[in-house]
Structure 1
């Protein structure tokens, strides 16, 4: 080997160091264009080792690294003369790339309502395309999807889902078998449709058999079934008893003050209260000389105030009822609505009412009575005062719940004077208890005070508790009208 010259040093350095990019040399003029060199032979080591013309810095750098690390025999870079220019040779074409697979229309397999893997056409795969994956079998997810589609089907169509499946779509089903219909496969628009029949069971057969055998051997279940049958028979027996009981048991008696009116009585009362001729005489009470016309009786219509004629006639009818059945009612005296006004006219005046209670007129003395009823009229409101001789007390009843002690003191003074005048006895009635009756049935409007007062008198004369209320007032108005028309209190 000779000495390493500058040219060789520079060439060696060019192979080892990256060469900065510079514009490629201009091509030679057309007149001096060299001829094309023959295609280098792969067997000629001198030509195979020569680099291509105008190499890029990266290619030169890579070739230098390969030459430095390669162990294969061949001419080194030192064998190329430093002063001789690189020969211009024809560029070799790049190696052909790997062929890409042909993307053509593909056919999608639709079985059991899921999309399977895409399969290429049967045109034959390319030598460089990867092999197509094998068709996947029905996996767990597809099986669950299949079962779900059977248990919860899509909106029904006339050909796929019957009405029974739509009604019981919420019931969990068990897929027992899938029977394929053989050649019943149809291909439309490059899609495969698999038609088959699915045999399903709501409950597995083994569960049905197990539950049936358990019910036969379960003693508690037998006991419960017996109790259910016994309760059912008892219920049927009670229903039959409810049908027969009204026939064998007496009907509950309605208290006499609440006996309903018959249809005939309802019609008579309706005609009397709503007739056209207001001056028609409907009832004439000869003992008291009271004439009841339709105009007077119409105060018993709903929302009307009671007048003196109706109240006084009804009190006379109550006295006649007592005389008819003395053992059934208390012995009472009923003052009319004018008594208290006469007694207090111009102050207390016993002489104004002294003749009202003679024994010749009444047939009895007031001292012989159990109770004495005194109607109290306060301008637009009716109240009741009771001289309770049986219990030795004076009572005041107001359907509005008020109290007037002045009325009770006046009646106490009157009763002392009355007993002294008629029998000559001196009683200490001023020491009797004077009270306002509590727990009274009260009125809930502004026109039923007179009817409440009459019913206080009616129930006390029967020796009954005051068990009525505002809801009975319509009935009491009709019943009072009926009794006045018949001139008979019941």
Structure 2
């Protein structure tokens, strides 16, 4: 009834306002009586003055039910009512107006709002005016059905990327176990295509753990220790970079100066200071030399070296060369009796002719690099060197003296030896004869023999004479160890 009353009021209001496009209405009646249906006699006069009514408006099918019950203009309204007691309705308005009545909200196909109380969406100026559900015709309905049944193809990839960039930030969904226990292990996040991040650890758990770490004194102590250790490690790394620049490089100890071990020191001490002086400490079968404690004790401090110790040590040097030929020069070591035999009566080559046969030595003297000849002068040991490689004769005396007679005898011997053993004639007398300069000299009256052995040792290594008086005590114990082991190092 509200809808009908509202419509009747609006229709009567539209009738009262004249429009210029239509003929002016008849003057208002003096009373309410003319509003009633006129008498039949007056119908002809009114029909002549009123224009023909316009055709009824087309009402959609969906609104037919709602508007059928409302009174409106029809064909019967144009015809005069034959009954005098019926009221005549006003003529229809010149413009069709929609009836504002309660309408059913259509949510199908997106034609109505998503929620009953949703705010109305204002259409943009460029978009076409929305089609009310009541005015949806057959063509529009078919088009709507086709649009729903066959959706438009997806936009290209570039458009999709732009749309994804404009999407809102991914939502955070917290997953909690049903039993209330959090999953052990590290926090893991999984991101799907829909930009939804699933957190395996609840947020309140993370906040609780962070707060607990701040309040735990033990954790603070451990963090401090870790930080301190890290700083210490960084400091050590920097120190390792700086240390080589402020620390001098430690040179390796040359082979002739390798210190004795504690065990070797005990063995040498027992061999030199034992009570049984006739005890056999070493026997060299190749040279048939037997070393007793009495013979070995010449290596104690302030004692002169004897022939047995010197000759055995020279034999050990020759064995060392044969054992490691690439490390040492090819040398020949005469014993302490050679020069005495050679120089007996002034010069006697026949006395030593059979000492150097190739059957005994396995080589000829001319094939050697250096030949060492110990020289004993009653109470003093010296050394003469036949340097075949450099073609010269050298004389080494730890007291700094020089003996040219020894060098002339050795030059004569070399000429006879090469002629006898090799059948060659060499001019050894024209070789240079010299005393070695800058020799390490002894500073006492008993180390001449030790100096002579070290001259031979260093020259056989092809090394400079880089030792002195301060090394003699060490060399004595090292020589004793090598004789006890029957192995020169």
Question: TM-score scaled by structure 2?
Answer: 0.50
Question: Matched residues in 2 for 1:323 and 1:447: separation?
Answer: 31
Q: SS where residue 315 of structure 2 aligns?
A: helix
Q: SS where residue 455 of structure 1 aligns?
A: helix
Question: Matched residues in 1 for 2:439 and 2:268: separation?
Answer: 29
Task: Give the aligned partner of residue 281 of structure 2.
Answer: 282
Question: Matched residues in 2 for 1:345 and 1:416: separation?
Answer: 18
Task: Give the aligned partner of residue 475 of structure 2.
Answer: 476
Task: Give the aligned partner of residue 67 of structure 1.
Answer: none
Question: Matched residues in 2 for 1:388 and 1:301: separation?
Answer: 32
Task: Give the aligned partner of residue 453 of structure 2.
Answer: 454
What runs of 5+ residues in structure 2 fail to find an aligned partner?
A: 1-234
Post-superposition offset of 1:457: 0.2
Q: SS where residue 303 of structure 2 aligns?
A: coil
> Residues 135-170 of structure 1: CA distance to partner in whole angstroms, max 9, x if unpaired?
xxxxxxxxxxxxxxxxxxxxxxxxxxxxxxxxxxxx
Task: Give the aligned partner of residue 414 of structure 1.
Answer: 413
Task: Give the aligned partner of residue 387 of structure 2.
Answer: 388
> Residues 103-131 of structure 1: CA distance to partner in whole angstroms, max 9, x if unpaired?
xxxxxxxxxxxxxxxxxxxxxxxxxxxxx
Superposition RMSD in Å: 2.3
Does structure 1 residue 341 correspond to structure 2 residue 340? yes
Question: Matched residues in 1 for 2:265 and 2:438: separation?
Answer: 32
Question: Matched residues in 2 for 1:272 and 1:238: separation?
Answer: 50
- Cα 1:239/1:292, change in 2 over 3 Å: farther
Question: Matched residues in 1 for 2:469 and 2:241: separation?
Answer: 34
Post-superposition offset of 1:344: 1.0
- Cα 1:363/1:253, change in 2 over 3 Å: same
Post-superposition offset of 1:237: 8.2
Count of residues in correspondence between the two structures: 255
Post-superposition offset of 1:346: 1.8
> Residues 343-371 of structure 1: CA distance to partner in whole angstroms, max 9, x if unpaired?
11122000000000000000000000000
- Cα 1:422/1:253, change in 2 over 3 Å: same
1:71-150 equivalences in 2 (<5 Å) = none
1:37-436 equivalences in 2 (<5 Å) = 240-241=239-240, 252-436=251-435
Task: Give the aligned partner of residue 218 of structure 1.
Answer: none
Q: SS where residue 396 of structure 1 aligns?
A: strand
Q: SS where residue 434 of structure 2 aligns?
A: strand
Post-superposition offset of 1:442: 0.1
> Residues 274-295 of structure 1: CA distance to partner in whole angstroms, max 9, x if unpaired?
0000000000000000000000
Question: Matched residues in 1 for 2:295 and 2:238: separation?
Answer: 53
Question: Matched residues in 2 for 1:450 and 1:352: separation?
Answer: 25
Post-superposition offset of 1:386: 0.2
Post-superposition offset of 1:244: 6.6
Question: Matched residues in 1 for 2:458 and 2:398: separation?
Answer: 14
Task: Give the aligned partner of residue 178 of structure 1.
Answer: none
Question: Matched residues in 2 for 1:242 and 1:338: separation?
Answer: 60
Question: TM-score scaled by structure 1?
Answer: 0.50
Q: SS where residue 303 of structure 1 aligns?
A: coil
Post-superposition offset of 1:252: 3.0
Question: Matched residues in 1 for 2:242 and 2:483: separation?
Answer: 41
Question: Matched residues in 2 for 1:441 and 1:239: separation?
Answer: 45
Task: Give the aligned partner of residue 12 of structure 2.
Answer: none
Question: Matched residues in 2 for 1:357 and 1:414: separation?
Answer: 12
> Residues 176-200 of structure 1: CA distance to partner in whole angstroms, max 9, x if unpaired?
xxxxxxxxxxxxxxxxxxxxxxxxx
Q: SS where residue 390 of structure 1 aligns?
A: coil
Question: Matched residues in 1 for 2:390 and 2:449: separation?
Answer: 26
Q: SS where residue 351 of structure 2 aligns?
A: helix
- Cα 1:424/1:251, change in 2 over 3 Å: same
Question: Matched residues in 1 for 2:343 and 2:376: separation?
Answer: 12
> Residues 418-477 of structure 1: CA distance to partner in whole angstroms, max 9, x if unpaired?
000001100000000000001000000000000000000000000000000000000000
Question: Matched residues in 2 for 1:252 and 1:343: separation?
Answer: 45
Question: Matched residues in 2 for 1:259 and 1:475: separation?
Answer: 10
Q: SS where residue 467 of structure 1 aligns?
A: coil
Question: Matched residues in 2 for 1:314 and 1:306: separation?
Answer: 11
Post-superposition offset of 1:263: 0.3
Question: Matched residues in 1 for 2:373 and 2:248: separation?
Answer: 44
Task: Give the aligned partner of residue 485 of structure 1.
Answer: 484
Question: Matched residues in 1 for 2:463 and 2:398: separation?
Answer: 17
Q: SS where residue 351 of structure 1 aligns?
A: coil
Question: Matched residues in 2 for 1:339 and 1:316: separation?
Answer: 14
Question: Matched residues in 2 for 1:245 and 1:261: separation?
Answer: 29
Q: SS where residue 468 of structure 1 aligns?
A: coil
Q: SS where residue 352 of structure 2 aligns?
A: helix
Post-superposition offset of 1:394: 0.2
